[in-house]
Amino acid sequence: MGAFVGMNNLKSTNKTVATSLTIGGVIIAVMMIFGILMLLAQGGVIDVPDAMFYQFLTIHGTGMIGAAALAAAGVMWYFLNQYVELSRSIFNWFLGLVIIGVILVVIGVFSFEFAGAWTFLYPLPTISASAWGTIGALLYLFGMLILGTGFLLLYMDTGRAIIKKYGSLGKGLGWDVISGKKKEEDAPPKAVVASTMVTIVNTTAILAGAAVLIMNIINVINPSFTFDPMLAKNLTYAFGHIFANAIIYMAVIVVYELLPKYTNRKWVVNRVFLIAWTMSTAFTLVIYTHHMLMDFAMPKWMLIMGQALSYANGLPVLVVTAYGALMIVHKSGIKWDMGSGLAFLSMFGWTVGVVPAIVDATIVVNHVMHNTKWVPGHFHMYMGLGAVVMLFSFMYYLAKVDSTVKESKIDRIALWCYALAMISISVQFLVSGALSTPRRWAIHYPGWMTPAVFGAIAGVFLVIATTIFIIHFVRYMKNRGKLGSDKYEQKTA
Amino acid sequence: MRKPLYIGALLYLILIIPPIRSYMESIMIIHMLIQLPLLMVVGWFLGKYIVYKAPKVFHAINENGVPGMILIVAITMYWMLPRTLDEALTLPQYEVFKFISLPLVGLLLADSWAKIRDVGQIFIYLNYLSMFALMGWLYLDSPIQLCNNYLITQQKTLGWGFIFITASMIVYVLQYVFIDRRRIEE
Ligand code: HEM
Ligand SMILES: [Cu+2]
């Protein structure tokens, strides 16, 4: 096993990774507050000017996706680095570029009032009816471009390293095992398979995103340069859908790596596992078209494909992962702690969160539910209760193996508090959706307000729980390396 | 080691010959996608020779290849803008600049490409990939004539040219990442 790659620089490696998780975690907590403010405004509790509501919406969407992706990339990097040789200086560049990008975005949104949502759908950045000016739009668009460049660098490095060790990205996905040329025992580790998948889909997403961002920039600078809006929408959602989706595929690596260690059992990579990941790779690339089910000008076959494959999109990976997780935990006498508890919770959240998505991906239902709060209901559940929980799971895991900081009763209470609060927020969205409350509306009719207020109250508990998680991680950062890392453990064991 | 020098110089002379030059510039796609790249090829051959002759100089000014690469990106991006082609046709000083700056790009490329190593190369490659796609889109989709000297139909042809280049680049990436070259080398 190539488990000792990068051994010598372990301490600083852990520090770099931990930095990405701290930044990501803190931004997520802050963005939750903007989420609460939005719900309070929609619930009629506080008075937020409409323009400001959309600034909140923009920063909340961008911040959550960006921060979760940043932290998830840290998780992926940490584990992938144990199997292939990654460049630490590129990870530092990645961190730096993402931070610069975030700063530009924040300035664009708050100082120059850009409020075109994180989907920056052409031609909205230019045609804002004077809600914001050229500078705000440019700051936002350039910020996103720089952020994307950071991620592009990172995936180039992971791709390069995987190809170097395994020969090609196809082999990183284990295609030679699927085709029977290689034995299942020699299949690439799960962390490598997942990283290969993410490298493929996110490089594609970022290239599409870069093209459409520059196009928007050209249009903002000189509006007489116009582009085909339908093509722009395709590229925008190819970027947004894939990039947001990939977060959970990076974060899930912690589940793969953690549960076998806790249960002292092997979680083998078999052919079914590999096929599932290859299928999800392909589906993730093409199903963004479910964002265009209302666009009658789209070719019909693309929409049908978008619908059909959306049912199946995450399912292969979800099924093999949830099934594998259950099998490995079942009767294993696992010792539950924060790391494993959160990992298990995330599997629950992911599984449950997919159900509303499947319902909504049906064209018939979509014509009714499209653009209602049903949609945020789905993705808050699977992001907030799935992907983000995996990140916290990793934080506790790292703290455990790399320091002597102990988990306390407060942490355990926070776990339950987090789970209940996030479920409440998601259900609140789903109920609103069922009431036909439109999404992205600053103002609600009185009949729509109750769920929003309920969600805001739950949000407060969620912020408290998240803060407790982060405090634990910061305490770890201060006591880092006291115990030695898990690789150190493996070596001495 | 003088061969690249001769090849480069010869190609340069051919490109300068007035009838050839004005023919190439009369068709937009040939101007942008053949003449300009050939000028870079000229520089690349000359660069092989010059870098070989004066490695110390290049080591001093372009040690890791990044300065050279930044200049390359700046100059090539400049020549991808529609109006620069126009100016090269109407204003002689721009035409002269074109015949100097693009060989310079080739020269710098000969020196920098290996120096920026694999990660740098992939990064530059992917950036040009999305840039070419965008240029294709821009030229195809623009409802207005972008140059005084070229008609809209010429513009569309150029757009398809860019799309073709992009598609070829994507095919190249796909075979690069999915074919295991280790076995072929063995
Ligand atoms: C305290 C927790 C949270 C609260 C109260 C909250 C609240 C909200 C609200 C009110 C909206 C606008 C809904 C609408 O369209 O009317 C929203 C949108 C959104 N939220 Fe959250 N949220 C929370 C956590 C999260 C998390 C953890 C994530 C992802 C990691 C997330 C990602 C998003 C995204 C991507 C949008 C869509 C923005 C858009 O439509 O442009 N949120 N959230
Ligand atoms: Cu989607």
Structure-block tokens of residue A97? 């570029």
Structure-block tokens of residue A190? 């799960």
Say which of A87, A157, A214 has its CB closest to residue B134. Answer: A214
Which ligand lies nearest the alpha carbon of A32?
1
Structural domain including B162 reads: 3-185
pLDDT reported for residue B178: 92
pLDDT reported for residue A396: 96
Q: Please write down the HEC assignment for all residues of A145-188.
A: HHHHHHHHHHHHHHHHHHHHHHCCHHHHCCHHHHCCCCCHHHCC
pLDDT reported for residue A9: 58
Q: How many domains does chain B have?
A: 1
Test B123 with A90 for CB contact under 8 angstroms: no
Q: Name the interface residues of A facing B (CB cutoff 8 Å).
A: 87, 90, 152-153, 156-157, 159-160, 163, 167-171, 200, 203, 207-208, 210-211, 214-215, 218, 224-228, 231
Could you tell me the pTM of the whole model? 0.91
Q: How far is A61 from chain B (nearest CA, A)?
A: 25
Report whether A172 contacts A166 (CB < 8 A).
yes
pLDDT reported for residue A8: 44
Could you tell me if the CB of A425 is within 6 A of ligand 1? Answer: yes
Structure-block tokens of residue A10? 């372990």
pLDDT reported for residue A298: 82
Distances (CA, A) of B89 to A83, A446, B25, B84, B95: 56, 66, 8, 9, 7
- Chain B residues within an 8 Å CB radius of A173: none
Structure-block tokens of residue A419? 């789970």
pLDDT reported for residue A429: 95
* Superfamily designation of domain A2-492: Cytochrome c oxidase-like, subunit I domain (1.20.210.10)
Could you state, in order of their start, the residue ranges of all structural domains in chain A? Answer: 2-492
Q: Centre a 10 Å sphere on the Cβ of residue A294 and count the other Cβ atoms it contains.
A: 12
pLDDT reported for residue B184: 57
Provide the ipTM: 0.84
More confident residue, B154 or A457: A457
Test A156 with B119 for CB contact under 8 angstroms: yes
- Chain A residues within an 8 Å CB radius of B80: none
Decide if pLDDT at B143 tops 80: no
> Residue B183's closest chain A neighbor by CA?
A167
Mutate to test the interface with B, among A92, A200, A225 (most CBs of B within 10 A): A225
Distances (CA, A) of A113 to A46, A191, A221, A329, A355: 20, 41, 17, 49, 36
Residue A359 and residue B99: Cα distance in Å, rounded? 61
Dihedral pair phi/psi, residue A110, rounded to 5°: -95, -35
Residues with pLDDT less than 70, chain A: 1-11, 311, 361-363, 481-493
Mutate to test the interface with A, among B162, B177, B180, B182 (most CBs of A within 10 A): B177
pLDDT reported for residue A486: 53
